[in-house]
Each structure stands twice: as C-alpha cells, then as structure tokens.
Chains A and B, each alone.
Chain A
Amino acid sequence: MKDDIIVTKDLCKTYVLGKITVPALKPTSISIKRGDYISIVGPSGSGKSTFMNLLGCLDTPTSGNLIIEGTDVSKLNENQLAKIRREKIGFIFQKYNLIPTLNAIDNVALSMSFVGINLKTRLKRAEELLGLVDLSKRISHKPSELSGGEQQRVAIARALSNKPSIILADEPTGNVDTKSGDKIMNILEDINSQGETIIIVTHDLDIAKRANRNLYIHDGEVVEAAY
C-alpha cells in the first residue's frame, strides 16, 4: 500500500484585484500517492499553474491545508518553504529557466549548493545526472549553446539533483519539437519507474494519456478525468 505523499484539504487560492475577488483555485481536496504519475490538463487560465505553484510551495494558499510527506506546509514561513522546495521538490519549467551565465554542470550543481554539499561532490553528482539525461558531452556548454530539448534535459537533471520525492513539470515539452518531447517524456517515465512521484501539467492530451492518473482543471475546480 502506497502512502500519501501529497494531501490537500480544501486548498484554496483567491486573488484580490481591487474590489473583485477572483477564485483561482476553488477548495480542493485530493491525495497523491508516492510514485504516482499524474497529469493535470485544463484550458489557459483554468488554474493549472496556481495549483502547481501551491503544490510546489512557490505560493501560499488563501485557505485550506497542503500536507507534503506529513508536513502541513500551508503554515510554514518563507525559509521553511525554501527548505521544502530544495529537499522534497524538483521543478521543471516550460521555459527551462536555466541560469544563462552558468554552464550545464553548474546549473545542475547550483541547487545542491543551497543544501551545503561540497563542490567536489556537487560536480560529481551533476556530471552523473547529466549522463542520465544523455548530456555527458555537453556539460560545459552554456544554455545559449544548447537546443531547447537539451536545455530541458539539463533542467530535469537539475530537478533531480537534491533527490526530491516529487517532480513538478510545467509543460515540459511545450517549447521543444516532438522528437525531443518524446525523449523528455521517456526520461520522466524512467524516473517515475524508479519510484519518483511525477506531476505534469500539459495541454497535450497525448502526453496526458501517458500518466496513470489524470486531473482536469476548469475554472479553478479540480476533477478526476479519464482519457
């Protein structure tokens, strides 16, 4: 029996724009099991990114609870949230979000520096992770010298660097060609097969269908879906 890695209880986020209150995420109660491979699909402005940002501890809920590996993170301060982000969560962004001035290996090693791992160990692990995403020969290349697919693979390696238990991928194939997108999805599925929890936001139903559980968001409401 798999344990719950993420539990939300009436998790809600509203934005106040002047006198208008906009519900970006309506009260949501779901649980995600360790090792799940989940897709979240929904139209633009439906609340996908808000949900992801809350799950990733980048944003704080207006009300409700978010429990990650038994810890209610909705009550934590900024520094405690940063600790959760660096130890439990790996981010993969649609636009890769690599640091342009750092080469591939340094980009991967960066997040390990926030945990206090020494330089030698950081570089060794970063090199191994880049090997895992088939970029051993590109470790000293800067993001501007890499293709979109390669940059996204560096971002995957970076997301894995602190051995997180959850990988959050926001449109990971949104900016790459089909062949590169397929390669990225294969890597993510490999990672999932090793027990990692993967939550992926996508517009692409073909990508969503590859997940073993599907969520659909519409007007801030999260529902289970089947494709």
Chain B
Amino acid sequence: MTLLGICIGIMAIIALMGIGEGMQQAITGELSSLSDTIVLSTGDISANAFGGGGFEHANNNEYLTERDIADIQRINGIKDVSTVLFSPGIITFNGESNSVSLVGIDELNMEKIFGIGVLGLESGDFIEEGKQNTCVIGYNVAHEYFDVDIELGNRVNINGKNFAVVGIYKKQGSGMSTETDDNIHITPRDFEKITGLSESSSAIIRIYDVTYADVIADEIETVVNENHGDDDFANAITMTSLIESIQQIISIAQVVLLSIASIALVVASIGIMNTMLTSVMERTREIGIMKAIGATNKDVLFIFIMEGILISIIGGFVGIALGIIGSRGLSTVLTRSFGGELTPVISTSSILLGIAVAVIVGMLSSLYPARKAAKMSPIEAVRYE
C-alpha cells in the first residue's frame, strides 16, 4: 500500500510528461515544416490542439475579395497567395450517403499549400487542370465511410452531381492535414457548381523569409481590415505563433495534470510516514540496541531516512516502468479516439525527475519518524517489549 501511492504518483508524472512531450514534438515537428506559411481567415480561426494544427474555421459570411488577394500579393516578402474554398457536402455511393467536407482547390494551389508530396496519394493522381467532375478523396472517405471501399475510377455523387474518383490520398493521421482524411478535393469551378459558392473565406500565404512571418502577418491583417473597414475582419496567423499557443495550452494542461499527480504524491508521503512510524514503533528495541552499542542520534536518523528513501525509490522505479507502459497505453487510446499518431517521448530528464521526486518524497516523509527514532532514550528503547 505504501509503495502503491508513490507508484501512482511517479507513474502519473512519467506518463503525463511523456504524452505532453510527444504531443509537443508531434505538433512542433508537423508545423515547423510549414513555418513559412501564414493562414488568413475571415472571422475566427483556431488551432486544433491534439495532433497539431488543423484549422477550424468559424462559420461566417465574410469573404476575401480579389482586391484583398491582390493587395496581399503586393506586400514585400510574399511568395504566393492561395485561396481555399470550404463547404460541407453530401456524398452518395453504393446507395449510402454521408456528410463530408468539400474543398475547392486547384492543383497549382494544392501544391503551393501542401505540396502533393506532403499529402501523398495512395492511388491515382491529382485533378488535371481544367478537368471537370473529377475528385480526389481522403483516406477515410475511401475506406471507412461506406460498407464497400471506394476505388479509383468509381463514380460518386456529391451534392447531387456525379464525380469520378481520380485519386485517393494516403492516410494523413494527426497534424496539419488531419481533415484531409475526411475531405473531398474538387476544382474551384466544380465547387462553385455544386455549392453556389465562389468566394473564399480563407487563404494560405507563403512567404520567403520565416523570420519576418509575424511582421508580414500583421501587415496582411492591416491591409485586409482596411479594405473592409473592420479592424476584426480578418485574422492572419503564423505557424510560429500557432506553435507557441499550442505549446502554451499543452504546458498549462501538463501543469494541471501534474498538480493532480502531486496529490497522489502527498498521499504517498503520508503513507510512507505512516509506515515508517509503525516501523519505528515496532523496532523500538532494535533502536535501543543500536544506540546501546554506540549508534549516535545522527546514525539512527540516517538509517531511517535511508529506509524511507529506499521504499520511495523502489516505488519510484516501479512507477517509472508503469509510467512508460501507461504513456504508451494512453497514447494508443488517444490515437484511437482522435486519430493520428502520437508517440510518447520518455526523456532521460523525466526519468531523472521521477527518481528525484521519489528521493525527495521518501526523505521528507521519513524525516519525522526518523527524528522520533533518533530521539529515543537508549535505556527505555532497549527495555521495550
């Protein structure tokens, strides 16, 4: 029971740190490759924290104009600007229907935004320029939405219109392109035909030098806001700031979870103290013998503190092992629940922290019982039955 408390506390620390570090690395790694990208959106844009940086666009009826795009292109340091059309849609295949996200984007912009190589196609190709009524579908749309898998060349019905599937994306998992698994990409022209929408509320802007990302983002916001006479019309967000805000969210979450873990450690230290007090009482005679044969108060104090630390370290090592197993289990559960890939990162520093916490907890919780043992009168202790 004494070991259990310390086990749980250390296990929680190791698991949470491992998962937190894994999340940070997954997000930072994914977004860092896109650090030269600025996402412009009318209304609010928010980061999808788990698995990193997918974008959630607030529904609004405010669109970017051709003037906005032209003004942005004139800003120094802009490589290119690509608008993206988003809309919900209904896909019907083999008599079954499902809702999907439609993305209107042409091949050129697609390459600009992600690079086809980044997303990767499981089979087929991207839509040829000018080719109508063709689509590229996400992995989940192809393999999980319907009883029968959609294959290359199959015809699907999107919002009442037939499309030929010319490409299927590889599974993207977590990250920037999470939603791609559930998206259907069509040309902007087809997008307009089936949704009636031709204006975009989002644009993805690439810049030449990432060191100016924040300055350029501010300039973009200013230009677009001025065009619409509204200070809050558009929001330009850099990947760097996105990484920072996500890391901040994860750090706060880690602090909260570690605080919860520390409660387990407080309970554990009370448990160790209780065990040590019982041990001191049971070993009163032993303490008396030690003092009779020459042990000083300091010797007795040291012996009992070392015992407390030993108990705690044993619990700590078991906790570290369980923490490593637990973080893997937790990441599997999170991956299954939210999709994507999350590999926990158990660093040497988190293991050392676990051991250090165990040593400190053991030492502090055995201090009082050890002092009690050290202060015993040898004559009374040796007489104790």
Residues of A at the B interface (CB closer than 8 Å) are 53, 56, 58-59, 78-79, 82-83, 85-87, 91, 93, 97-100, 110-111, 114-115, 158, 162
Interface positions of B from 344 to 382, Cβ below 8 Å from A: 378-379, 382
Using known A-B contacts A97-B285, A97-B289, A99-B289, determine if residue A83 contacts B296 with beta carbons closer than 8 Å.
yes
Interfacial residues, chain B to chain A (CB-CB below 8 A): 285-286, 288-299, 378-379, 382
- Contact call B285/A114, Cβ cutoff below 8 A: no
Chain B residues with Cβ below 8 Å from A93 are 292, 382
Cross-chain pair count, CB within 8 angstroms: 54
Q: For residue A48, give the distance in angstroms from its CB to the closest CB of chain B.
A: 14
Docked complex Cα distance between A53 and B381 (Å): 13
Report yes or no: A82 in contact with B295, Cβ–Cβ below 8 A.
yes
Given the known interface contacts A53-B379, A93-B382, A114-B299, the answer about A58 and B292 at a Cβ–Cβ threshold of 8 Å is yes
**Contact across chains for A79 and B298 when beta carbons are under 8 A apart:** yes
- Is B298 touching A162 in the complex (CB atoms < 8 A)? no
Contact of B293 among A53, A78, A79, A158 (CB under 8 A): A158
Q: A97-B289, A99-B289, A114-B299 are in contact. Are A58 and B378 (CB under 8 A)?
A: yes
Instruction: Determine the distance from Cα of A158 to Cα of B294 in the docked complex, in whole angstroms.
Output: 11
Contact in complex: B382, A82 (CB < 8 Å): no
In the complex, how many angstroms separate the beta carbon of B296 from the nearest chain A beta carbon? 4
A110 / chain B contacts, CB cutoff of 8 Å: 290, 293
Closest to B385 in A: A95
Residue of B at shortest CB range from A164? B294
13 contacts between A and B (CB under 8 A): A58-B378, A78-B297, A79-B296, A82-B294, A82-B296, A82-B297, A86-B295, A93-B382, A97-B288, A99-B289, A100-B286, A114-B293, A114-B299
| Closest A residue, CB atoms, query B289 | A97
Question: Whose C-beta in chain A lies nearest to the C-beta of B375?
Answer: A78
A114 touches B292 (CB 8 A): no
Contacts of B298 in A (CB 8 A): 79
Determine if B292 and A85 form an interchain contact, defined as CB atoms under 8 angstroms apart.
yes
Min CB gap A53→B, angstroms: 5
